[in-house]
Amino acid sequence: MRGKVRKLSPPSERQATGGRMQVPLRPEIDTGTGATSGERARAMIEIASVSKRFETSGRKSHLALSDINLTVNDGAFVSILGPSGCGKSTLLYIVGGFVAPSEGVARMKGAAITGPGPDRGPVFQEFALFPWKTVLGNVMYGLRQQGVKRTEAEAQSLRLIEMVGLKGFEHFYPKELSGGMKQRVAIARTLAYRPSVLLMDEPFGALDAHTRTRLQNDLLNIWERDRKTVLFVTHSVEEAVFLSDKVVVMTRAPGRIKQIVDIDLPRPRIRAELLLDSHYQKYVVDIERMIDDGRDDAEHS
Amino acid sequence: MSTRRLTTVLMGALPILFVLAIWQALCSFGYAPPSLLPPPGKVFLRLAQQLGNVGFLDDILATLIRLFAGFLIAVVLGVGIGLAAAVVPAINAVVRPLVQVLAPLPKVALYPALIILFGFDHASKITLVTLDALFPILLSTYYGASMVEQKLVWSALAAGTPRWQILFKVIAPAALPSILTGCRIGLVISCIVVFLAEMISSTDGLGHLLVGAARTFQTVDMFVPLITISLLGLMLNGLLYGLRKYLLRGFPEV
């Protein structure tokens, strides 16, 4: 059973996991277009001078993102943290290719992003499962779109469903599942077509605290196996620190990057140990303070 | 589960029985002379006799052919145009004013023109049924397809679905609850309109039977087609309900 599950990640990546723990503890903050070719080789996503302006009613427009520069390295778990309305989801949608930036460019493996593609798999807070398909049908969807034969797609999907802990629910419809189970299906559906990057938009925001904790742990376990690049949007400081290599703290509208914090905590991370760890606690407190400062600024102005 | 279903069916039958009881009471207590309002028992007995009559069955068949043909054409056109308008802004720009002008028009007013164009036979009645059933189906398809959650489309695009396939793979299935609601309204309208068309001018069909009986004061025969069309409507609605339940088995209760 375990062997089957392991098959999901290519052996080369699995072997690499051991040595990758010390990888970029202090990754370079790319300040824009000046990335050297050496950096670009490891960069998975580059966001260069991106702004996004939404046209609202009349002649008014709303500046959601202002001059964002960010580089996400291959295999990194990066969280974008900020108050609601800071444009953090918009930034994720720009990387997903669902929304076009008003200025600047987002690149994936060096190529400008012009639209959605199976190299970037989204997971939404609202799950966005296809209600007319069963759990199996949802998970198979991407594989079938990639031209994988039905029997093969089914076999792979069943393994993934087992991996996310939903064995026995293959033929249930999403409406028959709890919120946590729905999000597990959504994660499996996205993992199925093997994106290079996972784009997670407050994926656990609609779940109760207990389910949320369990899914965070499970996500980390899955991530430890193949170390996909993850861009994770959240407004929970603890969640961001617990999961990430790097936390991008954003300011209130217009969304700017306030600070990028490298989370120098060992992996694999065990929740029970981490909560007692003074380094973890300091990260949480520091970042919370950072966000509070931002709030004061906004109130004074 | 099945006992609960039984109670729902029984609960639904109660008001119908109540109407029949009032009908019977009007006759029994002499409020309505039997020559004008025949008792329900007599009408249902007559209906049972007529069901063995080939001529009567031919009339039912004629009505059903018109009803189905008109309704199905309306479904194809309504769903097709509704989806196209929801997805292609240019089509929407053309369709929207047309719908706004044509939807409130009493289609039955076109019937004389349709008879001149298509004659007294099936074609004119089928066209009228289509015209009347079309708009509710078109409008609910359009709104259903316009309201499809953006993130369903994004999820499909990210999974590698080509943009041109999104209509069939995401938008149409996601809009299915609204489409079927429109179909249900369209079906009821079809039942009404086919009968109406046959009453206005026809040589066969249930509506024609009613008008013929009314002209000769055969009141029992007058009520038989009326009861028949409402029973047909009930059965067709039941069929559509079953189909809806099957097709929407994954959707939250609507």
Out of B154, B160, B251, closest to residue A175 by CB: B251
pLDDT of B143-174, one tens digit each? Answer: 999 999 999 999 999 999 999 999 999 999 99
The confidence score (pLDDT) of residue A181 equals 95
A110-119, A210-219, B29-38, B52-61: least confidently modelled range = B29-38
Out of A124, A132, A142, closest to residue B176 by CB: A132
pLDDT of B68-92, one tens digit each? Answer: 999 999 999 999 999 999 999 999 9
Out of A116, A174, A190, closest to residue B157 by CB: A116
The confidence score (pLDDT) of residue A38 equals 46
The confidence score (pLDDT) of residue B121 equals 86
Q: Do B160 and A133 touch (CB under 8 A)?
A: no
Please tell me the class of the B39-247 domain. Answer: mainly alpha
Instruction: Write out the DSSP string of A156-170.
Output: HHHHHHHHTT-TT-T
Distance of alpha carbon A85 from alpha carbon A62, whole angstroms:
11
> Domain extents for chain A?
44-119+197-301, 129-194
Query: Considering only CA atoms, which of A110, A112, A114, A105 is closest in space to residue A36?
Result: A110
Residues in chain A whose beta carbon is closer than 8 A to a beta carbon of chain B? 93, 96, 98, 115-118, 120-122, 124, 126, 128, 130-134, 141-142, 145-146, 173-175, 189-190, 193, 195
The confidence score (pLDDT) of residue A21 equals 38
Alpha helices, DSSP H only, in A7-122? 11-19, 37-42, 88-96
- The helix (run of H) or strand (run of E) holding residue B69 is helix B54-87
CATH superfamily of A44-119+197-301: P-loop containing nucleotide triphosphate hydrolases (3.40.50.300)
Q: Token pair 């004008």 is at which residue?
A: B36
pLDDT of B221-244, one tens digit each? Answer: 999 999 999 999 999 999 999 999
Q: Do A128 and B161 touch (CB under 8 A)?
A: no
- Could you tell me if residue A58 is left (phi over 0), alpha (psi between -120 and 50 degrees) or otherwise beta? left
Confirm if B197 and B129 have CB atoms less than 8 A apart.
yes
Which among B150, B155, B164, B180 is the top mutation candidate for probing chain A, defined by the most A β-carbons within 10 Å of its own β-carbon?
A: B155
Query: What does the DSSP 8-state code read for residue A291?
Result: H
Distance of alpha carbon A206 from alpha carbon A212, whole angstroms:
9
- Chain B residue nearest residue A116, CA to CA: B158
The confidence score (pLDDT) of residue A40 equals 44
Distance of alpha carbon B138 from alpha carbon A234, whole angstroms:
41
CA distance B157 to chain A (A): 6
Out of A96, A98, A146, closest to residue B160 by CB: A146
Question: Cα angle at B210 between B209 and B213, to 5 degrees?
Answer: 85
Work out the mean pLDDT of chain B and round it to a whole number: 92
Is residue A101 classed as helix, strand or coil in its secondary structure? coil
The confidence score (pLDDT) of residue A296 equals 52
- Both tokens of B2, joined, read 């099945």
The confidence score (pLDDT) of residue B254 equals 57
3-state secondary structure A202-266: CCCCCCCHHHHHHHHHHHHHHHHHHCCEEEEEECCHHHHHHHCCEEEEECCCCECEEEEEECCCC
Is residue B199 classed as helix, strand or coil in its secondary structure? helix
pLDDT of B168-216, one tens digit each? Answer: 999 999 999 999 999 999 999 999 999 999 999 888 999 999 999 999 9
Question: Chain A contact for B151, CB < 8 A?
Answer: yes
Per-residue pLDDT of chain A (301 residues; tens, 9 = 90+): 333 333 333 434 333 333 333 334 334 444 444 444 444 448 999 999 999 998 877 777 888 899 999 999 999 999 999 888 788 999 999 999 999 999 999 999 999 999 999 999 999 999 999 999 999 999 999 999 999 999 999 999 999 999 999 999 999 999 999 999 999 999 999 999 999 999 999 999 989 999 999 999 999 999 988 899 999 999 999 999 999 999 999 988 788 999 999 999 998 898 889 999 999 999 999 999 988 875 555 444 4
The confidence score (pLDDT) of residue A25 equals 38
The confidence score (pLDDT) of residue A295 equals 57
CA distance A144 to chain B (A): 9
Which among B150, B157, B176, B254 is the top mutation candidate for probing chain A, defined by the most A β-carbons within 10 Å of its own β-carbon?
A: B157
